[in-house]
Structure 1
Amino acid sequence: MHSQSPSRTRRTILRATASAVAVAALASGCASETVQRGFLPGYSDGEVTDQTARITSLWNGSWIAALIVGIITWGLILWCVAAYRKRKDDHVLPVQTRYHLPLEIMYTAVPIVMVLVLFYYTDRDMTAIKDLSETPDVEIQVIGKQWSWDFNYLTDDVYESGQHEANVGDLRSEDEIEGAPGTAISLPTLYLPVDEIVRFQLDSRDVIHSFWVPAFLYKMDMIPGRTNEWQFTPTREGVYAGKCAELCGEHHSGMLFNVAVVSRAEYDAQMQKLEDKGQIGELGLDLNRLQDPNPPVVTEGEN
């Protein structure tokens, strides 16, 4: 029995690698829309916002680059294992240390170039996503609180709240809020007009929260004492689930809301409903979770 020569082994590995690449290319061409989106949320009839396509492209590009690096790295490892393995007739210990300056320079330079390229595309896309230069059609202040949401429609001077003083009441203390699971109907709903520029002012009333609508492919933290802003254009009508993405206390998992992207006529009708209910003006950051403007003050050491 004669062991295969290194050249034959290399040819075999190269043929196998070429076949694997061909199969992968064929599979990618037949991949479903879900795979083409990188398994991110999305819809076949259009993008949800004017930013989702950009985010998906950055996500997929990053994964493709990572997979290429992984294939090359594992290919080289397997090639070395196969080509330079110890054979039965080998009785001499091979050279354990060998220097190859050009190769070492390449192994240093290539990762640096890859990181710089990834940094460039990430910075380019994040700059576009966080751009606030355009004048918004609608401005909304979103306030996170334990454990619900307030929506101040600043442009229309009305508000919606996940908890109303009328149904919470002054007789219930904060300890009596049980955080019972809500339903899709009872969850607060944030209304947005389709194909119009919306700017969010994101604030927190108590602890750190995070405003996250998975279908928008982006989230932003809400930090007490600091206002974060985000602007985009919703481009697809529909109802989307939203939630807090920052662990914020006992009932964090129940801090849910809906986002309804509707026509301008339906949006105006909803604003009129809020006005008719007397929800005019805005809810401030000085309220507590019960919407109480004068929360009790507990002195240090008091039980």
Structure 2
Amino acid sequence: MKLMALAAAVLVLSGCSPVDDTDVKRLALPVAGSDRTDPMWNLWLGAWIAVLIVFVLVFGGMVYAMVRYRRRSDDEVPAQVRYNLPIEALYTIAPIIVVAVFFFHTVTSQNDMLKEVKNPDHTVTVVGSKWQWGFNYLDEDATQGDDVFDSGTPADPAELWLPVNESVRFELRSPDVIHSFWIPEFYFKMDVVPGRQNSFDLTPTREGTFTGRCAELCGLYHSRMLFEVHVVPRGEYDQHLSELKAAGDVGAPEGASEADQIAGLNEGTKQDEDVQEGAGN
């Protein structure tokens, strides 16, 4: 009976998909929106199957023990033992095997998701600072030689524009504290660490407007550190970059010039100068 129930449950889970219309069939994940979602989906699905197997075995064993060794009508106490070596070996070795299998598949999925694109179509420098995002588009062809940027504030979140089905390299920078760049539909996030140049590549595969956010507790306005993601056809992407240039948003977003330095540990940064000016006043 347990095996039949387990087989049926696994069969149901095998019919789930990251692009299904319902949350239940997506196992509570958002609809997939990048080429890096398959490794994460497979890991997530495997975790659900593993949890289901453990649940059925443990709960089934508990029910079996309660029925098989329940107190009889003659009020006779079941035989008492001090230990059971096979059972003790099982609940010691089995968790080690489960953790080892999870570790193997986690590392494998991580390596697949972090594979670099040899020549990405676009490069975007992401600057996370307290408490806003800035995006510098390093696309010289689209802007006739000038890099342009989107930026925002907690009251007016920044926008990130990406062309659908074209690879993008994200270079992550922070001038202050650790942030985390996360777009849920991409099934991917990475920390933005001061003094460390993290980067990753992916290709957006679904047009739409998504909400990105900071996934690392970074201070007072962490919950308002949001940004809006627009995945659009290439023509709309080029038009947006041209609009940024016409509006004068050329160069790098505020904070980007200090993004490779750690505030307070380097002289001559804009933040240090602001502090000195404030002290003088």
* TM-score bracket, shorter-length normalisation: 0.7 to 0.9
Q: Which amino acid aligns with 2:82?
A: T
Give 2:23's match in structure 1, choosing from 16, 34, 48.
34
Q: Which amino acid aligns with 1:89?
A: D
Residues 197 and 80 from structure 1, CA distance in 2 versus in 1: closer, same or farther, beyond 3 angstroms?
same
Residues 50 and 76 from structure 1, CA distance in 2 versus in 1: closer, same or farther, beyond 3 angstroms?
same
In structure 2, distance between residues paired with 1:225 and 1:30:
44
| SS across alignment from 1:97 | coil
Residues 26 and 118 from structure 1, CA distance in 2 versus in 1: closer, same or farther, beyond 3 angstroms?
closer
> 1:69 and 2:54 equivalent?
yes
> 1:111 and 2:111 equivalent?
no
Match of 1:127 in 2: 111
TM-score, normalised by the number of residues in structure 2: 0.81
Q: Which amino acid aligns with 1:224?
A: P
CA contact (8 A) 1:140 1:154 kept: yes
CA contact (8 A) 1:154 1:282 kept: no
> 1:297 and 2:269 equivalent?
no
CA contact (8 A) 2:133 2:158 kept: yes
Match of 2:144 in 1: none
In structure 2, distance between residues paired with 1:212 and 1:106:
40
CA contact (8 A) 2:210 2:229 kept: yes
RMSD of aligned Cα (Å): 3.0
Q: Which amino acid aligns with 2:26?
A: R
Q: CA deviation at 1:207?
A: 1.4
CA contact (8 A) 2:71 2:78 kept: no
Residues 61 and 158 from structure 1, CA distance in 2 versus in 1: closer, same or farther, beyond 3 angstroms?
same
CA contact (8 A) 1:136 1:198 kept: yes
Q: CA deviation at 1:48?
A: 0.7
Structure 1: any 5+ residue segments left out of the alignment? 1-13, 164-178
Match of 2:38 in 1: 53
* Pairs aligned (count): 260
Match of 2:170 in 1: 200
> 1:158 and 2:148 equivalent?
yes
Q: CA deviation at 1:187?
A: 2.4
Residues 25 and 50 from structure 1, CA distance in 2 versus in 1: closer, same or farther, beyond 3 angstroms?
closer
Q: CA deviation at 1:24?
A: 4.4
Match of 1:148 in 2: 132
CA contact (8 A) 1:37 1:60 kept: no
In structure 2, distance between residues paired with 1:120 and 1:24:
24
Give 1:209's match in structure 2, choosing from 141, 159, 179.
179
Q: CA deviation at 1:244?
A: 1.2
Q: CA deviation at 1:34?
A: 2.1
CA contact (8 A) 1:194 1:262 kept: yes
Q: Which amino acid aligns with 1:264?
A: R
Q: CA deviation at 1:72?
A: 0.4
Give 1:261's match in structure 2, choosing from 221, 231, 241.
231
In structure 2, distance between residues paired with 1:131 and 1:26:
31
Q: Which amino acid aligns with 1:263?
A: P
Match of 1:167 in 2: none
| SS across alignment from 2:42 | helix
CA contact (8 A) 1:204 1:285 kept: no
In structure 1, distance between residues paired with 2:113 and 2:194:
23
| SS across alignment from 2:118 | coil
CA contact (8 A) 2:13 2:45 kept: no
Match of 2:72 in 1: 87
Q: CA deviation at 1:237?
A: 0.8
| SS across alignment from 1:112 | helix
Match of 1:5 in 2: none
Structure 2: any 5+ residue segments left out of the alignment? 141-146, 264-268
Residues 104 and 251 from structure 1, CA distance in 2 versus in 1: closer, same or farther, beyond 3 angstroms?
closer
Match of 1:139 in 2: 123
Residues 136 and 104 from structure 1, CA distance in 2 versus in 1: closer, same or farther, beyond 3 angstroms?
same
Match of 1:237 in 2: 207
Q: CA deviation at 1:267?
A: 0.8
Q: CA deviation at 1:224?
A: 1.1
Residues 232 and 23 from structure 1, CA distance in 2 versus in 1: closer, same or farther, beyond 3 angstroms?
closer
In structure 2, distance between residues paired with 1:120 and 1:230:
21
Q: Which amino acid aligns with 1:158?
A: V
In structure 2, distance between residues paired with 1:56 and 1:75:
28
Residues 263 and 126 from structure 1, CA distance in 2 versus in 1: closer, same or farther, beyond 3 angstroms?
same
In structure 2, distance between residues paired with 1:251 and 1:133:
34
